[in-house]
């Protein structure tokens, strides 16, 4: 800005009490008298005013004076002030141009104000000067104390650190103007924490000040640091902070056993891997620096014990690695060394970081159960061994010094059937029963040994008894063979291959031999060929078999094993005779042969026989009853019969009447055919007379019957009194007698004979021709 144009004289009002060094009081006074501003060595700007903050005077604080060249002092010039705080914070005397501050100002709130000044003609309002900008700067005074960025500070430093080791830097901040004066110039000092720590006055860096600080002696320190402004001089403001300093651990202490001799007592029954005892070395350090390793460096029972460290307790745990035996060694001595796991080489030179101790282990006696000589026993016995045969022996003894005698028993749960027993005194196992290898090839039992004096002490051992095979079974056919021979078979034709089984198990496998039974060899119709591979062929011996002649052949085959003692058996092969086609495929077999093949057992035959006998008894009883009833009229009361039925006396065939129990029908196929028609009812079908064979002429009485019937028919047909509807007339006819001599001769009874004893029914006109011999003795039961 042009200095000539801006005709505002900047006047700096010297403030008498300003105490800043290098601030020329004389010059300020001169300035106050209107002398043009001189540049000061602090580099003030020429268009600046300065004002002290925090002014506490009662009158308004004078800032400075505006003056225009055009102001002749005649009162025609008016000064105008605009900008920040104009009119409120800052007031101008319009006439004189004096500026005053109306209030107390705080530099820390606002450090400077920008304002504009104008000089105008009071009357014309004409601007005498152009508007010009100037600044009112607030001068700092030390009104803020230093403040630490943290309170408290936390820090740690390794114990035994060298003097001057940095711990932490603290910082205090002063809000006052750092660019002006010493109001913001902070100096650090230590109020508490000497002589251990020191602080750098300029930087606030805290360092160790004492050599050999030991965490094990004192771990925590409270250090108080003061920060003071005005460069630490009197009158400056100050603030403090606390620094918590912890000494961190370093491994500066070796582990130490608290005793030189430890003693443990261990029962000899202790299990392998169990703890015998624990030892603990002390270490003043903490954490990893107190971790230690134990090891055995000497032992009079090598490999018997082991030592490991329990990482959570740092104890050395002594473990049993081999079984103890009071009877063999009663005391052990170990030399144990302990050493820190992480050794600090810095301190290692000061001495060994390890320690040693002796451990005495005393083995205590325990009453132990008997011990078997072996973990298990295998015994063998032949299956034909007699009872009370000794199979083998077990042996157990008391390991204790007392050598208590031992009793043996068999665990009955493993020998429920009491096949074996054991001699309680000497452990010999013997059989109680007969053995059968084919039933049970192994008997796996458990033998218990108990101390005679203390039965609670027991131990058991498995005994595997194998039953050895003896050839005590004869071979038989492997299956039930179903064999047939074709009628058109040729000689030497194979009709069946047979094989055999034997429950015995000879060492080299079975070697069966097959042969025809000697008693059948003479007129044999089949031959047996041993194939020497435990099979045999059944061959025809001649050609053409006739089922009518003989429908079933029974071929006895002798099978023997080659063992000692030799066992053999005769198995019978049943061969049916069948008709076959040309290829030899079975077409038809004799039914009798079929039954035979099915093999009616004697039981079934007896049952059939019984049935026949019962049937016979029924027949006899029935016949007897009939004889009693014979003379009774067929119909006793007339009301019982329909009017158109003419009743004739019935005279049954007596014992000759076998219609009711015709056993012949059971056997004779023809009889079966006949019996298809029920004899007790009139068939509804019309049978032409030709179907029935006319009565054989050999019988005289048949002619009589025909004549008799024809005569009766004639009479009925020609009877004018006959009813108009069909009616039934019954005629009684008595035959000449029985053809059969007695009931027992069943074979003589034939259906033909039936006709002899029938009384005939005659039907009405429509059924005249049905003069057949239906009805018979059975009908009187129904009528």
Instruction: Name the DSSP letter for residue 396.
Output: E
Could you tell me which of 64, 54, 6, 59 has the C-alpha nearest to residue 33?
64
**Strand partners of residue 112:** 137
527 binds ligand NAG (CB under 6 A): no
Q: Which one, 26 or 523, has the nearer CB to ligand NAG?
A: 523
Please select the residue that binds ligand NAG; options are 20, 348, 442, 687, rule is CB under 6 A: 442
Q: How many CA atoms lie within 13 A of 656 on its CB side?
A: 18
Dist CA 134 CA 51 (whole Å): 13
- Residue 82 sits in the site that holds ligand NAG (CB under 6 A): no
DSSP state of 150: -
Beta strands, E only, 441-493:
442-451, 458-468, 476-477, 483-486
Span near ligand NAG by CB under 6 A; candidates 232-240, 547-555, 714-722, 725-733: 547-555
Tell whether residue 541 is a contact of ligand NAG (CB under 6 A).
no
Residue with tokens 């060492």: 507
Task: State which residue, 549 or 718, has the beta carbon closest to ligand NAG.
Answer: 549
CB of 394 to ligand NAG, least distance (A): 9
The two counts, helices (H) then strands (E), for the chain are: 9, 44
Among 29-37, 46-54, 451-459, 546-554, the segment contacting ligand NAG (CB under 6 A):
546-554
Q: Which of residues 657-676 bind ligand NAG (CB under 6 A)?
A: none
CB of 276 to ligand NAG, least distance (A): 13
Per-residue contact string for residues 392-431; x = within reach of ligand NAG by CB under 6 A: -x-----------------------------x--x-x---
Per CB under 6 A, which region of 478-486, 492-500, 518-526, 716-724 contacts ligand NAG? 518-526
Minimum CB separation from ligand NAG for residue 417, in Å?
13
CB of 293 to ligand NAG, least distance (A): 14
Question: Minimum Å distance from CB 309 to ligand NAG?
Answer: 9
Residues 398/450, Cβ–Cβ less than 8 Å: no
Q: Which is nearer to ligand NAG, 247 or 485 (CB)?
A: 485
Strand segments (E) across 648-770? 729-730, 761-762
Residue closer to ligand NAG (CB basis): 148 or 408: 408
List strands edge to edge, sheet with 220-228.
Answer: 153-158, 238-248, 220-228, 187-192
Among 103, 550, 678, 692, binds ligand NAG (CB under 6 A): 550
User: What is the x/- site pattern for ligand NAG, positions 471-510, by CB under 6 A?
Assistant: ----------------------------------------
Nearest approach, Cβ of residue 684 and ligand NAG (Å): 51
Binding flag, residue 444, ligand NAG (CB under 6 A): yes
Binding test (CB under 6 A) with ligand NAG, winner from 194, 258, 313, 333: 313
- Among 114-122, 548-556, 592-600, 699-707, which window interacts with ligand NAG (CB under 6 A)? 548-556
Q: Which stretch binds ligand NAG (CB under 6 A): 261-269, 306-314, 453-461, 736-744?
A: 306-314
Single out the residue of 4, 413, 456, 523 in contact with ligand NAG (rule: CB under 6 A).
523
Q: How far is the CB of 695 from ligand NAG (least distance, A)?
A: 43
- Our finding on whether 464 is near ligand NAG (CB under 6 A) is yes
Q: How far is CA 481 from CA 138, 542, 574, 577, 588, in A?
A: 135, 21, 8, 15, 19
- Find the shortest distance in angstroms from Cβ 423 to ligand NAG: 4
Comparing CB distances to ligand NAG, the nearer of 110 and 423 is 423
CA–CA separation, 34 vs 81, rounded Å?
20
The tokens 């202490």 sit on which residue? 253
Pick the piece of the chain touching ligand NAG (CB under 6 A) from 15-23, 284-292, 319-327, 516-524.
516-524
Q: Which is nearer to ligand NAG, 179 or 549 (CB)?
A: 549
Assess 525 for contact with ligand NAG (CB under 6 A). yes
Distances (CA, A) of 71 to 96, 99, 118, 130: 10, 17, 12, 14
Bridge partners (DSSP) of residue 238 are 228
**Residues between 344 and 403 that touch ligand NAG (CB under 6 A):** 390, 393
Neighbours of 240 (CB within 10 A): 16
* Pairing between β-strand 377-382 and β-strand 458-468 as defined by DSSP bridges: parallel
Q: Alpha-carbon distance 491 to 493, whole Å?
A: 5
Size of the site for ligand NAG (CB under 6 A): 18
Comparing CA positions, the residue from 538, 535, 522 lying closest to residue 575 is: 538
Q: Using the minimum distance from each CB to ligand NAG, give the nearer residue, 483 or 701.
A: 483
d(CA 96, CA 455) in angstroms, rounded, equals 132
Interatomic CA distance for residues 772 and 60, integer angstroms? 172
Q: Cα angle vertex 764, ends 763, 770, to 5°?
A: 40
* Cα–Cα distance measured from residue 718 to residue 710, given in angstroms and rounded to the nearest whole number: 12
Is residue 286 within 8 A of residue 246, CB to CB? The reply is: no
Closest approach, Cβ 376 to ligand NAG, in A, equals 8
DSSP state of 724: S
Decide: is 783 part of the binding site for ligand NAG (CB under 6 A): no
Residue 763 CB, nearest distance to ligand NAG (Å)? 56
> Are the beta carbons of 275 and 184 closer than 8 angstroms?
no
Q: Distance between alpha carbon 512 and the CA centroid of its chain, in Å?
A: 52
Closer CB to ligand NAG, residue 171 or residue 525? 525
421/459 with CB nearer ligand NAG = 421
Nearest to ligand NAG of 414, 750 (CB atom): 414
Check residue 124 for interaction with ligand NAG (CB under 6 A). Answer: no
Interatomic CA distance for residues 229 and 237, integer angstroms = 6
**Nearer Cβ to ligand NAG, position 150 or 550?**
550
Among residues 592, 577, 548, the alpha carbon closest in space to that of 489 is found at 577
Q: Are 721 and 710 in contact (CB under 8 A)?
A: no
CA distance 141 to 60: 18
Pick the stretch among 496-504, 517-525, 561-569, 640-648 that binds ligand NAG (CB under 6 A). 517-525
Structure tokens at 176: 């006052």
Question: Could you tell me the smallest distance in angstroms from the CB atom of residue 393 to ligand NAG?
Answer: 4
Question: Residues 229 to 288: which contact ligand NAG by CB under 6 A?
Answer: none
Q: How far apart are CA 145 and CA 228, in angstroms?
A: 7
Among 96, 233, 310, 714, binds ligand NAG (CB under 6 A): 310
Q: Which of the stretches 363-371, 522-530, 652-660, 741-749 binds ligand NAG when contact is defined by CB under 6 A?
A: 522-530
User: Does position 524 bind ligand NAG by CB under 6 A?
Assistant: yes
Which C-beta is closer to ligand NAG: that of 84 or that of 291?
291
- Whichever of 464 and 687 has its CB closer to ligand NAG, that residue is 464
CA–CA separation, 41 and 335 (whole Å): 86
Radius of gyration of the chain (CA): 72
For the chain, how many residues are written?
783
Min dist. Cβ of residue 340 to ligand NAG (A): 19
Residue 280 to residue 284: CA distance in whole angstroms = 13
Nearer to ligand NAG, 10 or 461 (CB): 461
- Options 41-49, 221-229, 520-528, 674-682: segment touching ligand NAG (CB under 6 A): 520-528
Six-digit token pair at 5? 């144009």
Separation of CA 66 from chain center:
102
- Provide the binding-site residues for ligand NAG, judged by CB under 6 A: 310, 312-313, 390, 393, 423, 426, 428, 442, 444, 464, 520, 523-525, 549-550, 553
């Amino acid at each position: 800005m042009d200095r000539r144009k801006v005709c505002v004289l900047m006047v700096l009002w010297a403030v008498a009490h300003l105490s800043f060094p290098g601030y020329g009081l004389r010059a300020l006074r001169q300035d106050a008298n209107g002398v043009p501003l001189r540049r000061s060595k602090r580099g003030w700007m020429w268009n600046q005013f300065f004002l002290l903050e925090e002014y506490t005077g009662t009158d308004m604080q004078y800032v400075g004076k505006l003056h225009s060249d055009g102001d002749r002092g005649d009162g025609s010039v008016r000064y105008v002030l605009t900008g920040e705080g104009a009119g409120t914070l800052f007031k101008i005397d319009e006439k004189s141009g004096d500026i005053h501050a109306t209030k107390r100002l705080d530099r820390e709130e606002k450090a400077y104000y920008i304002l504009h000044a104008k000089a105008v003609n009071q009357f014309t309002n004409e601007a005498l000067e152009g508007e010009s900008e100037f600044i009112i700067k607030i001068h700092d005074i030390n009104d803020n104390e230093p403040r630490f960025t943290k309170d408290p500070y936390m820090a740690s430093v390794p114990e035994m650190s060298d003097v001057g080791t940095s711990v932490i830097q603290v910082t205090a901040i002063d809000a006052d103007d750092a660019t002006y004066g010493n109001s913001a110039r902070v100096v650090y000092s230590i109020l508490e924490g000497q002589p251990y720590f020191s602080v750098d006055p300029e930087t606030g860096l805290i360092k160790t000040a004492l050599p050999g600080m030991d965490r094990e002696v004192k771990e925590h320190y409270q250090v108080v640091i003061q920060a003071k402004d005005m460069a630490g001089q009197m009158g400056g403001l100050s603030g403090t902070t606390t620094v918590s300093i912890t000494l961190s651990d370093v491994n500066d202490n070796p582990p130490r056993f608290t005793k030189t001799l430890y003693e443990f007592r261990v029962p000899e029954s202790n299990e392998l891997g169990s703890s015998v005892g624990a030892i603990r070395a002390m270490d003043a350090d903490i954490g990893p620096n107190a971790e230690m390793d134990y090891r055995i460096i000497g032992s009079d029972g090598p490999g018997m014990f082991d030592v490991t460290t329990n990482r959570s307790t740092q104890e050395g745990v002594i473990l049993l690695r081999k079984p103890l035996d009071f009877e063999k060694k009663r005391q052990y001595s170990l030399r144990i060394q302990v050493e820190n796991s992480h050794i600090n080489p810095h301190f290692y030179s000061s001495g060994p970081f390890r320690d040693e101790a002796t451990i005495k282990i005393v083995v205590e006696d325990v009453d132990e159960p008997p011990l078997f000589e072996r973990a298990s026993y295998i015994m063998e016995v032949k299956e034909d061994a007699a009872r009370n045969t000794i199979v083998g022996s077990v042996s157990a003894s008391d390991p204790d010094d007392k050598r208590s005698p031992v009793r043996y028993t068999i665990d009955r749960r493993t020998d429920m059937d009491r096949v074996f027993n054991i001699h309680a005194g000497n452990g010999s196992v013997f059989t109680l029963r007969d053995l059968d290898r084919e039933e049970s090839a192994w008997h796996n039992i458990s033998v218990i040994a108990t101390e005679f004096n203390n039965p609670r002490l027991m131990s058991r051992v498995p005994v595997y008894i194998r039953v050895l095979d003896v050839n005590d079974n004869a071979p038989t056919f492997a299956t039930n063979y179903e064999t047939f021979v074709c009628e058109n078979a040729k000689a030497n034709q194979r009709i069946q291959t047979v094989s055999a089984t034997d429950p015995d198990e000879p060492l080299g496998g079975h070697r069966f031999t097959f042969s025809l039974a000697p008693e059948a060899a003479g007129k044999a119709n089949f031959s047996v060929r041993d194939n020497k591979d435990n099979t045999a062929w059944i061959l025809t011996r001649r050609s053409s078999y006739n089922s009518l002649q003989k429908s079933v052949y029974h071929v006895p085959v002798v099978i023997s094993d080659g063992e000692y003692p030799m066992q053999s058996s005769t198995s019978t092969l049943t061969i049916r005779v069948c008709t076959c086609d040309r290829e030899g495929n079975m077409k038809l077999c004799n039914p009798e042969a079929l039954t035979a093949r099915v093999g009616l057992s004697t039981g079934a035959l007896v049952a059939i026989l019984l049935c026949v006998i019962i049937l016979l008894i029924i027949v006899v009883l029935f016949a007897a009853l009939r004889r009693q009833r014979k003379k009774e009229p067929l119909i006793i009361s007339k009301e019982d019969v329909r009017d158109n039925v003419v009743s004739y006396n019935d005279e049954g065939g007596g014992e000759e009447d076998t219609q009711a129990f015709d056993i012949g029908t059971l056997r004779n196929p023809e009889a079966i055919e006949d019996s298809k028609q029920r004899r007790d009812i009139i068939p509804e079908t019309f049978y032409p007379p030709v179907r029935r064979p006319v009565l054989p002429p050999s019988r005289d009485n048949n002619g009589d019957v025909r004549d008799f019937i024809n005569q009766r028919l004639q009479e009925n047909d020609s009877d004018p009194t006959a009813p108009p509807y069909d009616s039934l007339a019954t005629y009684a006819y008595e035959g000449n007698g029985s053809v059969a001599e007695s009931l027992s001769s069943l074979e003589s009874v034939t259906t033909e004979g039936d006709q002899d004893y029938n009384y005939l029914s005659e039907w009405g006109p429509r059924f005249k021709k049905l003069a057949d011999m239906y009805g018979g003795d059975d009908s009187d039961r129904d009528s």
